[in-house]
Structure 1
Amino acid sequence: MFDIFFNKVMILEVLPLWMKEPLLGIEKFSLWQVTGFFFLILSGLIVKSIFNYTILRYIKKIFLKVWSSSYAEVLNEAVKPLGYLVFLVFVGTFLSGLGFNPFINKILSSALSSLSILYVVVFAYRSIDVFLTFLKEKASKTKSNLDDQLVPLIGRALKITTVILGVIFVLQNLNIDVTSLLAGVTIGGLAFSFAAKDTISNLFGSLTIFIDKPFTVGNWVKLPETEGIVESIGFRSTRIRTFYNSLVTVPNNRFTEVSVDNIGLRRYRRTRTSIGVVYNTSPDKIEAFCNGIRVILKAHPKTRKDYYEVHFTGFGDFSLNILVYFFLETSSWSDELRSRHEVYLDILRLAQKLSVEMAFPTQTLHFHDASKSPVEKERDLGVGELEKSVAEFQSHGKEYIAPGPRLGEAYYSQK
């Protein structure tokens, strides 16, 4: 190929004798050959630049017309090795025309072919990113999250396979017996399997995650040792971003041993609180307050309408306690907090409207003043009067009110 473009005989005739003498006493290794080799490298770099700015540029434009602009960055990285491949092929094509001795020629040829294989592997490795961008684009259009998790795993598997094949081809090019090397690896495979038993168990753990789907990327999960949002699921481990923004790496075999609470899959988020009102609050006002809270829960757009509880539940040390128990239909923690905030503010406004006073821990001390006359004792009710008062609370009695949300007549008489 060299002789097609250059007349080697004519070049040797015009060169001075000192450029044709062997360097370091090595046959067929002269100064003109070394100079020609560096000239060949320079010419290859020029050809590479022309290829990058013409053919490669045109190829990228064609691809970007077919695909979206999201491919631009990965495509630019993927095609970069092609310029170096053109350079190596150009140098390798004209190398034999320089007439190096067989030993030097073999070294240079092996180096060029090994580098060519290396850049082919790099090109294939980066082309996988282009393929993954295509898969991610397709996966984002589906409703299932399973394909979103599979795309990174497919990419890792393809990249590992590409690197292994590349190493094998480079070793074969260097005349290393790959068969015997693989046989040695097989013999040591048993020892390696014992050492890698945790890795294998993690691999089976990842398969369990994909088959059972206890969670997907983006879910809020709770484990015995950590809690947070799932960021990625790999072959060996799963990464969880905690709520204090640290990143926890959990081996996948851990998920086969513990229970996983997938909080992110909740349709409804529970809220339970207790409101304490002062002891001098009248029964009718407590009933009105409870009814008002029920109205608030029914009116809010994010609350579950078929299941909520608002009841006067007990006598506390310093307050009359009202249980408020309801569910919010939200998809995120921020929405949950906002909805709860709105419900609580409505309850406070209701309390102000009804003049219901919230209780707080208090203690009352009574001091006896001996200088004053004794307070007249209250009249004790007789047994008959007590029985009469109790009877009024029986069904059809004067103080009887039917069960269910209601307000007594005494409350309306105050209006």
Structure 2
Amino acid sequence: MFTRKTLEFLISSEHLQNLGIAIGIFLLFLLFRGLFTKYVFRLIMRMINKTKINFLANIFKSFQKPMEWLFTIVGLYLAVRFYPYIDIAADGLFMRLIRVSFIVLFTWGMLNLSSSSSNLFHKINERTNLRIDEILIPLLSRTVQVVIVAISLTIILQAFGYNIEGLIAGLGLGGLAISLAARDALANILGGIVIISEKPFDLGDWILTPSVEGTVEDISFRSTRVRTFAHALVTVPNNTLANENITNWSKMGKRRINFTIRIIYGTPPEKIKRVIERIKTLLQEHKEVHPETIMVNWEQYREDGLEIMLYFFTNTTVWAEHLDVREEINFKILEILEEENVEIAIPSRRLMMEGEAGEIIQKEKQRGTE
């Protein structure tokens, strides 16, 4: 229940005037925030884009939202400061919250600037001799973000009067238990370091392991994410991946084709030679076939035909293009066989009915007794 003096104070003209001015200051800064978002920020970005200084553009984009909220916090601070009936100097909690809000906004902007989606690391890679690997950029980004958050939390705790040294000492006492609980996480981090240092694959590479096959999308502290050809996203722990055999299909310089053609018995030897020579010439003259290793040979006798072995490589390693080249060569080989009048052997089996089989067995027995 309000007392009479309190009610008289609340409805007094002086109080209402001061309260109105304080609210007006706050609303004015909200208006400044809207004007900054709609006009000032766009104008600054146009000027920066004309200078082609991408680093400044990245900074302003990263700090756009924090700067908008900065107007709100400054407006709230000035409104409360103007209001004569609140002593902000005596209210230490309010001032601590204002300081912490500034720290949070600055941390927010730095996290945006250091994110892997930002072009900061890519620009550093282009303009310096550091040559940061593409696979290292996401991990480096997360490392910087963890450091930023840790420093910010330390400053915030100090602002509220916590003894950081005592906190660190307390963490040290429980370090053994934490390390035992985080053994798997540490193993995954070390696995990630091994992957980055040895570089068995890069982002976007097509890899095959006993665990997964697909395209590498992301590498984090704990795991590597691989997009399978069925468009499923598989997350593999780095420790598991670092201890597996990894086949990197994207690192192929050429792609192998190896198959056989069986032609029927009774094909004249001169026709077999012509077919082999024409197929070999076809592969040697094909611009998409790697010229170094081309083998076309009559390899062996089979029960259903004479087997010709083809072994060569395509220049392209892209799966779809590789299949197109293979299909084109198959059509050409069919044309050669038709022109040489050589038939492909088709495996055949003779099916005998029960009575027919009995007659054959009886005839065999009679031959054996004669």
User: Which category describes the TM-score, using the shorter chain as reference length?
Assistant: 0.7 to 0.9
Counterparts of 1:17 and 1:318 in 2: how far apart (Å)? 109
Q: Considering only CA atoms, is the larger Rg found in Structure 1 or Structure 2?
A: 1
What percentage of aligned pairs have identical amino acids?
27
Aligned position for 2:185:
199
Which whole-Å CA distance do the structure 2 matches of 1:348 and 1:280 have between them? 19
AA paired with 2:44?
I
Aligned residue number for residue 334 of structure 1 = 320
**Match of 1:307, SS?**
coil
* CA RMSD across the alignment: 3.5
Match of 1:238 in 2: 224
Partner of 2:143, secondary structure, is helix
**2:80 aligned partner:** 95
Where do residues 262-341 of structure 1 align in structure 2 (5 Å cutoff)? 262-341=248-327
Amino acid at match of 2:137: V
In the alignment, is the contact (CA less than 8 A) between 2:58 and 2:113 conserved in 1?
no
Are the structure 2 counterparts of residues 365 and 61 from structure 1 closer, same or farther at C-alpha, using a change threshold of 3 Å? Answer: closer
Whole-angstrom distance in 2 between the partners of 1:296 and 1:229: 34
How big is the shift at 1:146?
Answer: 5.8
Residues in 2 aligned to 1:243 and 1:68: alpha-carbon distance in whole angstroms? 40
Contact 1:206 1:234 in 2 (8 A): yes
Q: Is 2:9 the counterpart of 1:20?
A: yes
Q: CA deviation at 1:110?
A: 2.8
Task: Tell me the equivalent position of 1:160.
Answer: 146
Matches within 5 A, 1:4-403: 18=7, 20=9, 37-67=22-52, 75-76=60-61, 78-99=63-84, 100-101=86-87, 105-129=91-115, 132-137=118-123, 139=125, 147-363=133-349
Give distance in 2, aligned partners of 1:138 and 1:117.
26
Give the secondary-structure state (helix, strand or coil) at the position aligned to 1:203: helix
Is the contact between residue 146 and residue 216 of structure 1 (CA under 8 Å) also seen in structure 2?
A: no
State the match for 1:374 in structure 2: none
Amino acid at match of 1:79: Q
Give the residue type in structure 2 aligned to 1:278: I
- 2:204 is paired with a residue whose SS is coil
Deviation, structure 1 residue 90: 3.7
More displaced stretch, 103-112 vs 304-313: 103-112
Shift of 1:334: 1.7
Counterparts of 2:322 and 2:126, CA distance in 1:
26
Note the C-alpha offset of 1:242. 1.8
- For 1:39 and 1:183, the matched residues in 2 are separated by 48
Residue 236 and residue 356 in structure 1: after superposition, are their counterparts in 2 closer, same or farther (change >3 A)? same
Q: Which amino acid aligns with 2:45?
A: K
User: Cα offset for 1:365?
Assistant: 7.7
In 2, Cα distance between equivalents of 1:117 and 1:178: 17
The answer (yes or no) to whether the contact 2:30–2:71 under 8 Å persists in 1 is no
How far apart, in 1, do the equivalents of 2:287 and 2:195 lie?
A: 35
CA distance in 1, matches of 2:116, 2:194: 29
The TM-score with structure 2 as length reference comes to 0.81
Query: Can you list the C-alpha shifts for 1:322-373, whole angstroms capped at 9, x where unaligned?
Result: 1111112213112211211121111111111111111212235899xx9xxx
Q: Sort the Cα spacing of 1:47 and 1:130 in 2 relative to 1 into closer, same or farther, 3 A.
A: farther
Alpha-carbon distance in 2 for matches of 1:55, 1:120: 20
Whether the 8 Å CA contact 1:19–1:31 is kept in 2: the answer is: no
**1:121 is aligned with what amino acid?**
T
- 2:161 match: secondary structure: coil
Partner SS, residue 147 of structure 1: coil
User: How high is the TM-score relative to the length of structure 1?
Assistant: 0.73
CA gap of 1:365–1:51, structure 2 versus 1, over 3 A, is closer
Do the aligned partners of 1:19 and 1:32 also contact (CA within 8 Å) in 2?
no
**Segment of structure 1 superposing worse, 170-179 or 69-78:** 69-78
CA distance in 1: counterparts of 2:342 and 2:121, whole angstroms? 60
Letter aligned with residue 316 of structure 1: R
Residue type of the alignment partner of 2:164:
V
SS of 2:260's equivalent in the other structure is strand
Are the aligned partners of 1:20 and 1:31 in contact in 2 as well (CA < 8 Å)? no
Q: CA deviation at 1:273?
A: 0.5
Q: Aligned to 1:217, what secondary structure does the other structure show?
A: coil
In the alignment, is the contact (CA less than 8 A) between 1:219 and 1:230 conserved in 2?
yes
Check conservation: 2:201, 2:207, Cα contact below 8 A.
Answer: yes
> In terms of mean alpha carbon deviation, does 162-171 or 286-295 score higher?
162-171
Note the alpha carbon deviations across 1:122-156, whole angstroms, 9 max, x for none. 122222249941332565799x9962112222211
Structure 1's unaligned 5+ residue stretches are 1-15, 23-29, 371-415
Structure 1 Cα separation of the partners of residues 96 and 351 of structure 2: 100
Query: Aligned partners of 1:312 and 1:19: how far apart in 2?
Result: 112
- For 1:296 and 1:321, how far apart are their aligned partners in 2? 19
Note the C-alpha offset of 1:297: 0.9
Q: Structure 2 CA distance, aligned partners of 1:145 and 1:310?
A: 45
Corresponding residue pairs, total: 348
